[in-house]
Every structure is written in structure tokens, then in C-alpha cells.
Amino acid sequence: MHDSGLRHVSGSAVYTDDIPEPAGTLIAYVRYADKAYARIKHTDTSAVAAHPGVAAVITATEIPGINNIGPVFPDEPLLAEGFAEYYGHPLFAVAACDLKTAREASAKARIEWEVLEPELSVRSAYEKQQFVAPVKQMKRGDADKGLTDAPHRLKKNYRVGGQDHFYLEGQVSLSVPGEDGEITIYVSTQHPSEVQHMAAKVLGVSHHKVIVEVRRMGGGFGGKETQAAALACISAVLAVKTGKPVKLRYDRDDDMIITGKRHDFEATAEAGYDDNGRISALRTLLLANAGWSADLSLPVCSRAMFHTDNAYYIEHLKVTGCCCKTNTVSNTAFRGFGGPQGMFFTEQVIDDVARRLGKDPADVRKLNYYDKDTRNITHYGQPVSDFELNDMTRMLEQSSDYYTRREEIKIYNGQNEIFRRGLALTPVKFGISFTVKSYNQAGALINIYPDGTVQLNHGGTEMGQGLFIKTAQVAADVLGIDPAQIRCMATNTGKVPNTSATAASSGTDLTEWPVSLSATGFYRTPDLNYNEETATGSPFYYFAYGAAATEVIIDSLTGEYKLLRADILHDCGNSLNEAIDRGQIEGGYIQGVGWLTSEELVWNKEGRLLTHAPSTYKIPTCRDIPPIFNVDFYHKPNAKDTIFKSKAVGEPPFMLGMSAFFALKDAVGSFAAPGEDVILDAPATPERVLMEIERLKSVHQNALKPAELYRLYTGAEPFITVTVIETSGSAPCRAGAKMAVGQTGRLAGSVGGGRLEHSAVQHSIDMLKRCDVNLHTEEFSLGASLGQCCGGRVRLLYEPVNIFQHKLALFGSGHIAKEIISVLAGTSVRLTVIDNRPTEFPTELPSNCRTLLTEDPVAEMPVLKDCDAALIMTHDHSLDFDIVYDALKESRFDFLGLIGSAKKRQRFEYLLRGRGIADEDIARLICPSALKAYAPQNPERLPLQYPHRYCNILSQTKFSHNR
Ligand code: MTE
Ligand code: HPA
Ligand code: MOS
């Protein structure tokens, strides 16, 4: 259990805002810009300062030290200087007796603006080359050539949204001034040392005057790696100015409007792949939305580049990363730190490749996996020495029953028009270590008291992830005492100095060693060597792995969806604490699901965040947890020398949430034709899901529906199937792609679209018009003439289906009719067999035969008007006569055959004459058995003789009925 578990649920866990306020504590409020981009011509805060209850107001000019808190580049003024660069930019801060007073006072400022045109689009910032950091590239092989050489190519733009951290405890800081300029800052931060150094810089004092302490955070998720510094610094400056303790806490709306989030990204990805879906080349351009300042965007974007391979060996890979400057919040660390975004785009590519090839995306994923002995070097040159995912995927496929459910879903979707299900299995390979080498260090201080109890201090911070219980367990183990003897102390820069952030999932890995080493330990991760200049080497100590299979159901009328089941297999090495790690896996997965599904950040065209509260920003709730949720550990010790051979678990499970997104895409894909692209960006909100379903449906509106296609195939209507039987070079389709063209040019399927398809449709319509029953092949050279950008060849096969040169009505379904049907099965003669006895129809009809059940065949004659020939052989002679009489009188059919004896033919002739039918018409009634050659002593030959005779006559006749 978590060391604070009971305190969390009983409400007795002390967070920064719960610390009893020292007497005289003032409350601060930050007034921020309500313009996305503007020049600040003049700020007059005199009315604010004069407001009763206000103790101090600070603007940029009142900062005693340096007005800058940029953690990587000095590009981030604490309070706006000259320009407001986003809607939410802190302008000035007020300290007053209470929050209400501070707020009211801040409204009295007079600010003169020159409003400028904000840049809100990542693409357009990229086009203008507006970056907050240098553009970076990583590559292996020759992606450009690899793309040209590949049999198939895909090029698409993708987007993935950002994410608000939505820590339950918002950003907060309490600064308490001490004697001689000393100041203690209690702040909810993942990086106390950086806050200490930053506050000293802003205050213009030396480091030893600032003490930063954090007992615990109510969640950080990366949002408190750098973003807490602003609150700490503002409260510290106000505390120093007033000589009083000052607390600053953003409410939820202000927190969401002011602080940075996960970077939203756009990407252009081009992949070269073969018929099986193996990707040989990938060229990706990553555009990270840095927001108005650099913050951690450069390392975030680097991590995205490091994870562009995810679990896949791609021989030729080039990835370019740009940190684009826009007038929005300055985006920052968030669980996965760019890794999720980098992986997501490649997963989109793999999913699209699989769909184009008509393959199960899980199979294409496995095909592209790293291997153990070959194909095991990343694009930046680090060996993947312990690739566990082949084993793990096999295990997960079994435990989740993946392939059985895949088949069940296919059937379900075939039978359900409104509700559709989807399934996806996705892998994660995540690099463990800070990519900035110097961050990979930690320290600890253990105080042992005479009664044998122990105080454990270290540089790591507790944000709910269970670092403290894990360190206590290790310390207890090393010291040989009961964990109850150990107190985990609040993290304090005065106890363990100059620490790294608790981030990059490395808290446990880094902190445990010094804890285990000695009373005052220090540890640095070994084996890291990465060359920033050449972008090659080994930035990670090891990789953590995981795989998840998620099943969803969507309502195609509303776009709403539910997770039905999730199965996870995750690799924690030797887990230090399975209860804690399970929490990390479940929580990470759900947070990842939220990122890619319901959590959407919407800015209006003025650059104002519209979704700044839980009413409009939707994080997953307990109702969104899949009802079947199986989490398993992959029990295998870490190959690297980590504490008890464990593996870091904080961030990697976050990316398992991708399986939910791809399950949604799979469900939406049930509305697409085979080989057709599904276009779904993240987050896949119900709106986006619905829009894509609607788009797919409208594309298919002129297309044949499955039921119609079935009707075509069962013989009612002629059509042509067009099949791609051969391709070379870069063709817009793959061999095997199929399309059906109906009489009016209605379509099902596709042979790749564009002018190639247009030309194939025209050709098919011509064939239908000509009643052409022959197979054809046709070869196309692709290129500019067919509107294709790249060269290649495609060979098409045209197969006529149900083109009937003749239509024959069989009156009566006796044994002769049955024989005729079987003799003519599969020919270009379409048969209609008419009878009033349903049980008499042949049980297995060939596709060119249909039945007509009727008591009164004569009345049905108009229905049969497209038949050019009739054979009459009912079980009732008088009915036969009625049919013959009607046919001759109305001059129906070009060929009229009577089955029966010569005597029957004579009797009919006599009766017909009596009814006034002319002799030349009566001559049309052909009765082969009445001829000498077909002697009635051989009645068993009749079934063969009729078709034979019929075909002979047909071949000599030009029928008027046949268009
Ligand atoms: N778990 C909880 N409950 N709360 C958090 O804020 N942060 C995540 C992850 N798990 C977080 C969490 C992030 S972003 C990181 S980097 C790691 O925990 C940090 O802790 P660790 O390095 O000790 O794993
Ligand atoms: N992960 C998380 N936080 C970081 C990193 C990283 O790789 N580098 C610097 N801060
Ligand atoms: Mo985690 S994003 O590295 O704080």
C-alpha cells in the first residue's frame, strides 16, 4: 500500500495548501493578459495598490533580481515585459489580506494595449520558421532513397492534441520569510532544486538563502517539473517585499489558462513498405507546439524523435523535430515527455499501412518489431539488447484471446448497422533515463537516531507514484529494520542539495541507489553516452516494455463510445511493489486513454482557451474504466543493474492508452471499404468519431451497399468486377484491390481512385453496354497522363458477372427443367423457372437461375417480358396451352419451345387455329420431340436435346430483345 494511502482517503494527508498558515499570511493573485499577442504600451497599477487590504503589487520592474525563469533558454520573463505573448500571460501580482480583495484590486489596473495578430497555428509557425529552439534531426540509412525504392508508399499528415495535467491539487506555493533575507518556500513541485535556484535568481540572493520544501504533491504528471517555479518566485518576491508569508494558489480555471500542458503536435509522415506491410523507410517531420516560450520543448521534441521508432526496426529512418513558437501557453513536460507523440504518429502510419493492405494491424506491427539478434539497433544507434515484445505480444494475444475476438467482432459488425466494435493491440518501448545526461544523478541522507528509528531524506519527490514507500522498503531492507521504523521526510533542498527533477520515470531508479549505498549517498547512472552533435549513441540505460489490447464499442449515430475490455501486459522487471506498480499501470493507461479520446483543448480564434474547467474539459472518470480490465506483470528481471532488477514504471504505461484510440479507429474502419483510409486525428472525441463515420458514409452513398452487391452476385443484375492483378513501381493500389461496377456506374470497392479508377469505370460501363461476356486485361502506365505524381504500372482484370446474352423462361419445374438448369448452369443464359409448387424448385440454384412462384403464369407474362425465349413444360397440359396461346397472341418471346409429344403439338396446333392464331405464328412453336430425329422412345435424352436445340437456334438468331 501507498505510505500515505490512509491519509489520502481520510483527508489527513497534508498538501501545501493544508499547511497551517503562519500569522499574517497574505494571499496573492496573478492578473494575466486577456490578449494572445499584444504590445503593452503602459501599465498603471496605482489604483490596485491603493485598494483597501492590498499589501503589495509587483510588475516586471519590481523584480529584485532577474525577471526570467526559462529553465533551458532565458526566454521566459516571470512577469510580462513589453509584450503579452499568450492569453494567460502573467502581467502583475497582488498580495492582499484575502483572495477576494486581491482579485477585486487587480481588476483596477489600467493597461494600454496595442493588439497584434497572434500566431495560433503550428503549421503556419513552421512555414514562417518561427521556432523557440534549434531544429534537430536524427537519421539512419537513406530515407529518401528508401522511399523511392519501396514497392508502396504512404504520405499523410497527422495531428495529436495536447493535454492538461489536471493534477487534483493545483499549482500552489507558500513563501515564508525568515531572518537575514532567508526564505522558505513550500511549493508543490517535482523539482525543488530548480525552484531554489530560480527563486534565488529572481530575488537576487544567493542559493543558500533559499530553502524549498515539498512533502507531497496531489499529482504532478510533469506539470510541476518547471511550471511550479513561477508561483514559487512570485510568492517569494511578494513575501520579501512585504516581510509577510505569502500564499499563491491558482484556482482550476486560472491554472488551466496560465500553465503549460502536453505539447500538441502535427506531423507529416511518409512510409515505404512492401506487400506484407514491412516498412523499410520512414521520413517524419514533427512539429511540436512549443507555445510562447521554450520551457522544456527541446528535450520534449527530442524524446519524440527518440521514440519515432516505438517498437519497430525501420531500416531507413529520418526524423526532423521543430519546436514551433505560437501564442499559446508554454507547453511543458507531461508523462511520457514527447515519447507518446513520437510513437503515436508511427502507430498511425502502421495502422494505415495495414488498412491499405487489408491486414490486421497487429500482424503488421509484429512484422515490423525489433528482433533479438538482428534488426536490433535504433535509428540513433543504441542497441535494443533485451527486446521483450515478441514474447510479450504472444502472451498477450493468448491471454486476451485476441484472434478469436477479432473474428467475433467481424461477425458482429457485419450484423449491426448502428453499433460497431473495434479492437487493437499496441506495443510500447520506452527509453529510461533523462536524455540530458547530467540529470541522471541523485542523493540521499539517512539519519539514524539512538532509539533505532530512521529519517529518510532524498532528492526525489512524492506525487502519488509511490516513490516514498519504495525508498522506505529498500532502506528497511538494506538496514535490516522494519519499514515502520523509517520516516520518509519531506523533500528539502537543505537536506539533500542539487538534485534532479523527479521525472523521466527515473525517481526510483536514481533515488534507490543512494538510499541503499550509505548514510549520505550519491548515484549517477552508468553507461550513458549520447552525442548531441551527431545525434547518435545510447541516451537510455534500458528500455521498459508493455503491450495492451483494448476493445471498444461505438454508436455510429452519435459517435459516443465505451471501452469494453482492456488487457495489459507490462514489464516492471522485478517489481519493487506490485500494488504500487499496478496503480501506475492502470492510472497511466487511463490517463493515456483520456489524452487520445475525451480530453480536448479548444482555443478560440483570439487564442483564448475555452476548455478551462471540468465542465468542458473531459478527463476520464471511474465510469470510463473498462468493465473488464486485466493487468498482468511480465515477470522478468531487468538485464541492467537497477535496484533489485526492477524497471521504471511511472511513464511507460501511459502509452498503452494508444490501444483504445486504435480500437476506435478500427471500429470506425468498419464503415470503410477494404483498403480505404480512415482519417482520425487525436483526440478521438465522439464528435471526431461521428464526423469520420459520416464522411465515410457519404463517400459510399453512391456506392453499392452490401445488400445490393449480394443481389448483383446472385444474378439479378449484370456488373463487372475489376481486379488489380499486378503492380510495379509506385502504384496507388495493391494487387488484389477489387471494385465492382454496376450498370449506371455505381461502385463498390476501389482500385486506387483517381483517373486510373475513372478509366476502369468507363471501360466497365462500355463492356456492360456491349453485353461483353469475355474477360479482358488492361495495362496502365501511371504518370502525369493519369494524374499520378509518380510512375508505375498497374494491370487490371475485367470480369463480367451476370451479363446474360439470353434470358430463358422455363414454365414448369419438373425433372426436365431441372436437367436444363444444370446443363445451362454458369452459361450466359439467365434462367427463370416458373411454377406454383415451391417444393418443386431445385434446392440448389445456380447463380444464373432464379425462381418465380405463381398460381397464374399467364398473369405473370408481362413480368417476363425481358425473356427472349420460353420452354413450356408444366405438369398440366391445359396450362401449357394457355401459356402458348397467350405467347403467340401477344407475340411474346423470340423462341417458343413446347416440350411434349408430336401428338400434343398437333392438338395444340388444331386448338390454336380454332382460336384464330395465324399459321405463320403457329409455326413459331417449336417442339423438337415432334421431329423425326428425336424419337419419343428416347425420352431420357430430352433434357439434353432441348438445350442443344435451343442453343443452335439462338446462335442463328438475332434477337430484338437483347440491347
Ligand atoms: N503517478 C501519480 N500518482 N502522480 C503523478 O503525478 N507522475 C508521472 C508518473 N506517475 C505521476 C505518477 C510522471 S510524469 C513521472 S515522470 C513519474 O511518475 C515520476 O515518478 P518516478 O520517477 O518516481 O516514477
Ligand atoms: N524527461 C523528463 N523530464 C526531463 C527530461 C526527460 O527526458 N529531460 C529534462 N527534463
Ligand atoms: Mo514526468 S513528464 O517526466 O514528470
- CATH number where 827 lies: 3.40.50.720
Task: Tell how far the Cα of 155 is from the centroid of ligand 3, in angstroms.
Answer: 32
| Residue 10 cell numbers, joined | 481520510
For 556, 703, 797, the CA distances from 698, given in Å and listed in that order, are 13, 9, 28
Ligand 3 nearest-atom number relative to CA 505: 3
Looking at the predicted structure, is the pLDDT value of residue 803 above 80? Answer: no
704 lines ligand 2 (CB under 6 A): no
> Model confidence over 345-366: pLDDT tens digits?
999 999 999 999 999 999 999 9
- As separate numbers, helices (DSSP H) first and strands (DSSP E) second, the chain gives 25, 37
| Residue 402 cell numbers, joined | 485476441
What DSSP string describes 591-626? HHHHHHTT----B-TTS-BS--STTTS----GGGS-
Q: Which residue has the higher pLDDT, 115 or 875?
A: 115
Task: Tell how far the Cα of 162 is from the centroid of ligand 1, in angstroms.
Answer: 18
CB 48 within 8 A of CB 57: yes
Considering the domain architecture, whether residues 78 and 173 belong to the same structural domain is answered as: yes
What would the mean pLDDT of 837-852 be, rounded to a whole number? 85
Paired residues of 808 in beta bridges: 831, 869
What DSSP string describes 894-951? SEEEE-S-HHHHHHHHHHHHHTT--HHHHTTEE-GGGSTTS-TT-GGGHHHHHHHHHH
Please report which confidence band the pLDDT of residue 958 belongs to, taking 50, 70 and 90 as the band edges. Answer: very low
Report CA Rg, the chain. 38
Task: Tell how far the Cα of 97 is from the centroid of ligand 1, in angstroms.
Answer: 35
Query: Cis ω on the peptide bond leading into residue 683 (within 30° of 0)?
Result: yes
Paired residues of 448 in beta bridges: 454
Least confident of 275-284, 309-318, 668-677: 668-677
Paired residues of 547 in beta bridges: 427, 569
Q: Residue 644: inside a domain, yes or no?
A: yes
Determine the residue type at 622.
C
pLDDT recorded at residue 938:
62
Task: Tell how far the Cα of 611 is from the centroid of ligand 1, in angstroms.
Answer: 25
364 exposure class (CB count in 10 Å sphere: 0-12, 13-18, 19+):
buried
Residues in the chain: 963
Looking only at the bridges linking them, the beta strands covering 719-729 and 792-801 are: antiparallel
What would the mean pLDDT of 762-781 be, rounded to a whole number? 83
| Residue 660 cell numbers, joined | 483504445
Q: What three-state secondary structure class fits 889? A: helix
Q: What three-state secondary structure class fits 55? A: strand
Write b or e for each residue in 336-352: b if 16 or more Cβ atoms lie within 10 A of its Cβ, otherwise e: bbbbbbbbbbbbbbbbb
Query: Which numbered ligand comes closest to the C-alpha of 169?
Result: 1
Query: Which numbered ligand comes closest to the C-alpha of 303?
Result: 2
CA angle 369–373–376, rounded 5-degree value: 45
Domain boundary among 745, 776, 801: 801
pLDDT recorded at residue 789:
56
pTM for the full model? 0.77
Q: What three-state secondary structure class fits 78? A: coil
Looking at the predicted structure, is the pLDDT value of residue 619 above 80? Answer: yes
Considering the domain architecture, whether residues 209 and 295 belong to the same structural domain is answered as: no
For 188, 203, 234, 960, the CA distances from 175, given in Å and listed in that order, are 12, 12, 9, 100
Looking only at the bridges linking them, the beta strands covering 316-325 and 136-140 are: antiparallel
* Residue identifier of the C-alpha nearest atom 8 of ligand 2: 434
Please report which confidence band the pLDDT of residue 963 belongs to, taking 50, 70 and 90 as the band edges. Answer: very low
> Model confidence over 126-161: pLDDT tens digits?
999 999 999 999 999 999 999 999 999 999 999 999
Give all strands of the β-sheet with 441-448 in edge-to-edge order. 486-488, 454-458, 441-448, 520-524
831 lines ligand 3 (CB under 6 A): no
Least confident of 437-451, 548-562, 619-633, 707-721: 707-721
Q: Residue 30: inside a domain, yes or no?
A: yes
Residues tagged active-site? 651
Domain boundary among 224, 258, 292: 258
Least confident of 560-564, 690-694, 824-828: 824-828
Task: Tell how far the Cα of 98 is from the centroid of ligand 1, in angstroms.
Answer: 33
Considering the domain architecture, whether residues 605 and 655 belong to the same structural domain is answered as: yes
What backbone torsions phi and psi does residue 623 show, to the nearest 5 degrees? -75, -15
What would the mean pLDDT of 613-640 be, rounded to a whole number? 97
What would the mean pLDDT of 725-754 be, rounded to a whole number? 76
pLDDT recorded at residue 685:
98
228 lines ligand 3 (CB under 6 A): no
Ligand 3 nearest-atom number relative to CA 222: 4
Task: Tell how far the Cα of 96 is from the centroid of ligand 1, in angstroms.
Answer: 34
Looking at the predicted structure, is the pLDDT value of residue 211 above 90? Answer: yes
Ligand 3 nearest-atom number relative to CA 337: 2
334 lines ligand 3 (CB under 6 A): yes
pLDDT recorded at residue 725:
82
Nearest partner of 944 among 923, 926, 929, judged by Cα: 929
CB 422 within 8 A of CB 663: yes
113 exposure class (CB count in 10 Å sphere: 0-12, 13-18, 19+):
middle
Task: Tell how far the Cα of 170 is from the centroid of ligand 1, in angstroms.
Answer: 16
What would the mean pLDDT of 324-342 be, rounded to a whole number? 98
Ligand 2 nearest-atom number relative to CA 302: 7
| Residue 856 cell numbers, joined | 397464374
pLDDT recorded at residue 143:
97
Determine the residue type at 907.
R
230 lines ligand 3 (CB under 6 A): no
Looking at the predicted structure, is the pLDDT value of residue 212 above 80? Answer: yes
Segments forming the whole domain that contains residue 454: 441-488+507-524
What DSSP string describes 191-221? -HHHHHHHHHHHHT--GGGEEEEES--S--T
Q: Which residue has the higher pLDDT, 681 or 792?
A: 681
Query: Which numbered ligand comes closest to the C-alpha of 584?
Result: 1
Residues whose CB is less than 8 angstroms from the CB of residue 11 and which lie 6 or more positions away in sequence, other chains included: none
* CATH number of the domain enclosing 80: 3.30.365.10
* Residue identifier of the C-alpha nearest atom 4 of ligand 3: 222
**Rounded to whole angstroms, how far apart are CA atoms 371 and 315?**
13
Considering the domain architecture, whether residues 551 and 651 belong to the same structural domain is answered as: yes
Domain boundary among 227, 258, 289: 258
Q: Over the chain, what is the mean pLDDT?
A: 91
Considering the domain architecture, whether residues 662 and 727 belong to the same structural domain is answered as: no
Task: Tell how far the Cα of 215 is from the centroid of ligand 2, in angstroms.
Answer: 22
Looking only at the bridges linking them, the beta strands covering 246-249 and 26-32 are: parallel
Query: Which numbered ligand comes closest to the C-alpha of 590?
Result: 1
Q: Residue 949: inside a domain, yes or no?
A: yes
What backbone torsions phi and psi does residue 575 show, to the nearest 5 degrees? -60, 135
234 lines ligand 3 (CB under 6 A): no
> Model confidence over 287-297: pLDDT tens digits?
999 999 999 99
Determine the residue type at 762.
Q
**Rounded to whole angstroms, how far apart are CA atoms 428 and 653?**
8
**Rounded to whole angstroms, how far apart are CA atoms 433 and 503?**
9
* Residue identifier of the C-alpha nearest atom 16 of ligand 1: 503
Task: Tell how far the Cα of 777 is from the centroid of ligand 1, in angstroms.
Answer: 61
CB 165 within 8 A of CB 220: yes
337 lines ligand 3 (CB under 6 A): yes
Considering the domain architecture, whether residues 589 and 464 belong to the same structural domain is answered as: no
| Residue 801 cell numbers, joined | 458477372
Q: What total of structural domains would you count in the chain?
A: 5
Task: Tell how far the Cα of 47 is from the centroid of ligand 2, in angstroms.
Answer: 43
337 lines ligand 2 (CB under 6 A): yes
Looking only at the bridges linking them, the beta strands covering 90-96 and 26-32 are: antiparallel
Q: Residue 884: inside a domain, yes or no?
A: yes
Considering the domain architecture, whether residues 133 and 171 belong to the same structural domain is answered as: no
**What single-letter DSSP state applies at residue 573?**
B
Looking at the predicted structure, is the pLDDT value of residue 278 above 60? Answer: yes
**Rounded to whole angstroms, how far apart are CA atoms 1 and 390?**
32
pLDDT recorded at residue 611:
98
14 exposure class (CB count in 10 Å sphere: 0-12, 13-18, 19+):
middle
Q: What three-state secondary structure class fits 275? A: coil
300 lines ligand 2 (CB under 6 A): no
What backbone torsions phi and psi does residue 558 show, to the nearest 5 degrees? -120, -20
3-state percent breakdown (helix, strand, coil) of the chain, nearest 5: 35, 25, 40
Q: Residue 500: inside a domain, yes or no?
A: no
Paired residues of 114 in beta bridges: 39
Ligand 1 nearest-atom number relative to CA 460: 23
Least confident of 367-381, 428-442, 781-795: 781-795
CB 88 within 8 A of CB 601: no
Considering the domain architecture, whether residues 650 and 772 belong to the same structural domain is answered as: no
Looking at the predicted structure, is the pLDDT value of residue 566 above 70? Answer: yes
633 lines ligand 2 (CB under 6 A): no
434 lines ligand 2 (CB under 6 A): yes
> Model confidence over 514-540: pLDDT tens digits?
877 655 567 889 889 999 999 999 999
> Model confidence over 899-950: pLDDT tens digits?
888 888 899 999 999 999 999 899 888 886 665 555 556 666 666 667 777 7
For a mutational test of ligand 2's pocket, the pick from 295, 300, 306, 654, i.e. the residue with the most ligand atoms closer than 8 A to its C-beta, is: 300
What DSSP string describes 296-334? THHHHHHHHHHTTTTTB--SEEEEEEEEEE-SS------
335 lines ligand 3 (CB under 6 A): yes
**Rounded to whole angstroms, how far apart are CA atoms 101 and 54?**
7
Please report which confidence band the pLDDT of residue 769 belongs to, taking 50, 70 and 90 as the band edges. Answer: confident
**Rounded to whole angstroms, how far apart are CA atoms 422 and 550?**
8
Task: Tell how far the Cα of 548 is from the centroid of ligand 1, in angstroms.
Answer: 20
Looking at the predicted structure, is the pLDDT value of residue 659 above 60? Answer: yes
222 lines ligand 3 (CB under 6 A): yes
> Model confidence over 431-453: pLDDT tens digits?
999 999 999 999 999 999 999 99
Considering the domain architecture, whether residues 155 and 268 belong to the same structural domain is answered as: yes
Looking only at the bridges linking them, the beta strands covering 152-160 and 265-273 are: antiparallel
Nearest partner of 549 among 419, 388, 666, judged by Cα: 666
Q: What three-state secondary structure class fits 843? A: coil
Query: Which numbered ligand comes closest to the C-alpha of 510?
Result: 1
pLDDT recorded at residue 417:
81
What DSSP string describes 227-249? THHHHHHHHHHHHHHHTS-EEEE
221 lines ligand 2 (CB under 6 A): no
CB 378 within 8 A of CB 309: yes
What would the mean pLDDT of 955-961 be, rounded to a whole number? 46
> Model confidence over 80-111: pLDDT tens digits?
999 999 999 999 999 999 999 999 999 999 99
What would the mean pLDDT of 367-392 be, rounded to a whole number? 96
Q: Taking CB atoms and a 6 Å cutoff, what residues make up the pocket around ligand 1?
A: 219-222, 335, 463-465, 467, 502-508, 584, 587, 648, 650-651
Q: Residue 78: inside a domain, yes or no?
A: yes
Looking at the predicted structure, is the pLDDT value of residue 593 above 70? Answer: yes
**Rounded to whole angstroms, how far apart are CA atoms 307 and 321?**
12
CB 944 within 8 A of CB 819: yes
Considering the domain architecture, whether residues 310 and 386 belong to the same structural domain is answered as: yes
541 lines ligand 2 (CB under 6 A): no
* Residue identifier of the C-alpha nearest atom 9 of ligand 1: 650
What would the mean pLDDT of 707-715 be, rounded to a whole number? 61
Looking at the predicted structure, is the pLDDT value of residue 696 above 90? Answer: no
* Residue identifier of the C-alpha nearest atom 7 of ligand 1: 221
48 lines ligand 2 (CB under 6 A): no
**Rounded to whole angstroms, how far apart are CA atoms 794 and 756?**
9
220 lines ligand 2 (CB under 6 A): no
What would the mean pLDDT of 373-394 be, rounded to a whole number? 96
Give all strands of the β-sheet with 110-115 in edge-to-edge order. 83-84, 38-44, 110-115
Q: Residue 246: inside a domain, yes or no?
A: yes
172 lines ligand 3 (CB under 6 A): no
Please report which confidence band the pLDDT of residue 960 belongs to, taking 50, 70 and 90 as the band edges. Answer: very low
Considering the domain architecture, whether residues 567 and 625 belong to the same structural domain is answered as: yes
Task: Tell how far the Cα of 651 is from the centroid of ligand 3, in angstroms.
Answer: 7
Query: Which numbered ligand comes closest to the C-alpha of 648?
Result: 1
Please report which confidence band the pLDDT of residue 865 belongs to, taking 50, 70 and 90 as the band edges. Answer: confident
503 lines ligand 3 (CB under 6 A): yes
Task: Tell how far the Cα of 513 is from the centroid of ligand 3, in angstroms.
Answer: 20
Considering the domain architecture, whether residues 93 and 73 belong to the same structural domain is answered as: yes
Q: What three-state secondary structure class fits 800? A: strand
Q: Residue 361: inside a domain, yes or no?
A: yes
Strands (E), 596-741: 628-633, 719-729, 738-741
Looking at the predicted structure, is the pLDDT value of residue 320 above 70? Answer: yes
